[in-house]
Amino acid sequence: MLDLLKPGGIIMFPLLLCSVLALAIIIERFWTLRVSRLAPKSLVQDLWGWIKKKELSARKLKELKEAAPLGRVLAAGLANAKHGREIMKESIAEEASHVVHEMERFLTALGTIAVITPLLGLLGTVIGMIKVFAQLQLEGAGNAAALAGGISEALITTAAGMTVAIPALIFHRYFLRRVDEIVVDMEQESLRLVEVVHGDREASSVSEKTVGEKIP
């Protein structure tokens, strides 16, 4: 590792830090953005069963809220169902905004890493070439080792920057897509809940449809 860091110069250290941060964010988001954690099928099935059997109580509502982020969204709507359709929708939307914010946590940082690491690599390239031209000016073209060192620094930082940026960008796009898919399914489930609570749809007609079926 030090053999690669030393020729690359000081720019290699922020690049190494960015790579560690990107890896940590990717692992954390993979663990966090699981459907089984955010919107488990069993939770939705239990909710429709409670509504169908008219067993929805304050205790059940608390269990729903504590079970998963989707449960928080649905519980917020159910807690305000008696105030009318619009208030129920507003309560769901307000809680959903908090859930979406949590799902998008650290994604801005991952996107920033994908943007700045090529620039850091380019900065290392510029610094390396400045050293090369300064060496040429002082010693001429006779010192091949010094020239090779400057060119090596320039090339290593560029390669390191791209190596960090490419996977960071790929996973940033992937996680954004993942969040969008989960949010769409949460919205559909919330809409079904509003329709059932206000008598526009029977609970039995949606009890078999659960969030997460479209998400691998």
Q: pLDDT tens digits for 112-153?
A: 999 999 999 999 888 888 877 777 777 665 666 666 666 776
Coil, strand or helix at 22: helix
Coil, strand or helix at 103: helix
pTM of the model: 0.79
Q: Which residues touch 88 (CB under 8 Å, ≥6 apart)?
A: 77, 78, 80, 81, 194, 197, 198
Please write the tens of the pLDDT for every residue from 34-76: 888 888 888 877 777 777 777 777 888 888 888 888 888 888 8
Tokens representing 185?
């399914």
Please write the tens of the pLDDT for every residue from 95-117: 889 999 999 999 999 999 999 99
Backbone angles phi, psi at 214, to 5 degrees: -90, -10
Q: Which residues touch 175 (CB under 8 Å, ≥6 apart)?
A: 29, 33, 107, 110
Tokens representing 37?
């954690």
pLDDT, greater one: 170 or 81 = 170
Q: Which residues touch 93 (CB under 8 Å, ≥6 apart)?
A: none
